[in-house]
Amino acid sequence: MDIGRIGLWQGVLDQQPSSRVREVVAELEEMGWPTVWIPEAVGRDPFVSASVMLGATNSLKIATGIVQIHARHPMTTAAAQKTVAEAFGNRFLLGIGVSHGPFIEGIRKLDYSKPYSFMVEYLNEMEGAMYMAAGPEEAPPTVLAALGPKMLALAAERTAGAHPYFVPPEHTATAREVMGPDALLAPEQKVCLETDPEAARALARENMALYLGLPNYVNNLFRLGFTEEDVAEQSDRLVDAIVAWGGLDTIRARIQAHHDAGADHVAVQVLAPRGELPLAQWRTLADALL
């Protein structure tokens, strides 16, 4: 599956009615975006959302970033993956992940004691799942949400690759070293088309606050050399590492830094004020980057 060198990561379409979602993804396809990434947390079901979006487009790929594996049985996930892939001509990329303790234990009330072992067993069960319906012509690809070396290595060994989230290019370089040259590496990169430092960093901090309360992301930042003070204070150093803000040249340079570090694909997430649909920014970036 060719998902392109640059794609669009977004979580804002969950706030739009499905009729509007169909219009927007058709417009994103017309802009030239090859792939749109969609999340799962406490919003819409990602397989249903992917089907809505794929049904409204002709060539656009939809990737999940990511489906929470604790949310459904592995046989159910494997069946849903094959169902969507077959229905829409293999335009569906399944990203799965263990998510985060506060989501799985706090919201879903499920065990999160051994996330890595759970993922290994989940992959085993997906691979062995019985499926007696019409399937896609070729096996649909899967990628893992991966930050640390063990999950990155697992992604390279057992799946098509990895989709790291909330990472700077330095992490991409480390991930490529761990995963080897052949696995797909598709990090997410937050961007803000705002040239005023104070305004840009304020928007960045608003978006980053949730993630800085999740241990998986914080521990990954520590591995990259950030400090407890950086995290607690949301230092300019940390903000500028996670969010590329400024003009198009700055955004383009950050994406290129990921590619230079070994990324095959960069999923660009445009930050906008809460509730705003950044269609104009998506078009500006499409015109500049694609």
Q: Is 146 helix (H, G, I), strand (E, B) or coil?
A: coil
How confident is the model at residue 9, as a pLDDT?
Answer: 98
Residue 152, domain member (yes or no): yes
- Of the chain, the percentage scoring pLDDT greater than 70 comes to 100
Which domain range does residue 15 map to?
Answer: 6-289
Model pLDDT for residues 216-275, shown as the tens digit of each residue? 999 999 999 999 999 999 999 999 999 999 999 999 999 999 999 999 999 999 999 988
Sign of CA dihedral 209, 213, 214, 219: positive
**How far is CA 249 from each of CA 22, 197, 205, 244, rounded to the nearest angstrom?**
31, 15, 22, 10
Residue 1, domain member (yes or no): no
Residue 157, domain member (yes or no): yes
Residue 104, domain member (yes or no): yes
Task: Identify the CA nearest to 193 among candidates 264, 260, 263, 288.
Answer: 288
CATH number, domain of 64, equals 3.20.20.30
Over residues 151-179, mean pLDDT: 98
Model pLDDT for residues 198-219, shown as the tens digit of each residue? 999 999 999 999 999 999 999 9
For residue 46, what are its two tokens? 């990602």
Residue 116, domain member (yes or no): yes
* Confidence band for 10, pLDDT divided at 50, 70 and 90: very high
Instruction: Supply angle C-alpha 151, 156, 157, rounded to 5.
Output: 95
Model pLDDT for residues 129-153, shown as the tens digit of each residue? 999 999 999 999 999 999 999 999 9
How confident is the model at residue 82, as a pLDDT?
Answer: 98
Q: Is 96 helix (H, G, I), strand (E, B) or coil?
A: strand
Sign of CA dihedral 70, 207, 257, 222: negative
How confident is the model at residue 77, as a pLDDT?
Answer: 98
- Of the chain, the percentage scoring pLDDT greater than 90 comes to 99
Over residues 192-203, mean pLDDT: 98
Residue 272, domain member (yes or no): yes
Residue 210, domain member (yes or no): yes
The pLDDT mean for the chain works out to 97
Task: Identify the CA nearest to 193 among candidates 274, 290, 269.
Answer: 269
- Report if pTM > 0.75: yes
* Confidence band for 282, pLDDT divided at 50, 70 and 90: very high
What's the number of domains the chain is made of? 1
First to last CA, the chain: 18
How confident is the model at residue 275, as a pLDDT?
Answer: 83
Our measurement of the distance from residue 103's CA atom to the centroid of its chain's CA atoms, rounded to an integer in Å, reads 17
Task: Identify the CA nearest to 159 among candidates 177, 174, 178, 179.
Answer: 179
Model pLDDT for residues 46-76, shown as the tens digit of each residue? 999 999 999 999 999 999 999 999 999 999 9
Q: Is 226 helix (H, G, I), strand (E, B) or coil?
A: coil
For residue 141, what are its two tokens? 């690809």
Over its C-alpha atoms, the chain yields an Rg (Å, rounded) of 18
* Confidence band for 20, pLDDT divided at 50, 70 and 90: very high
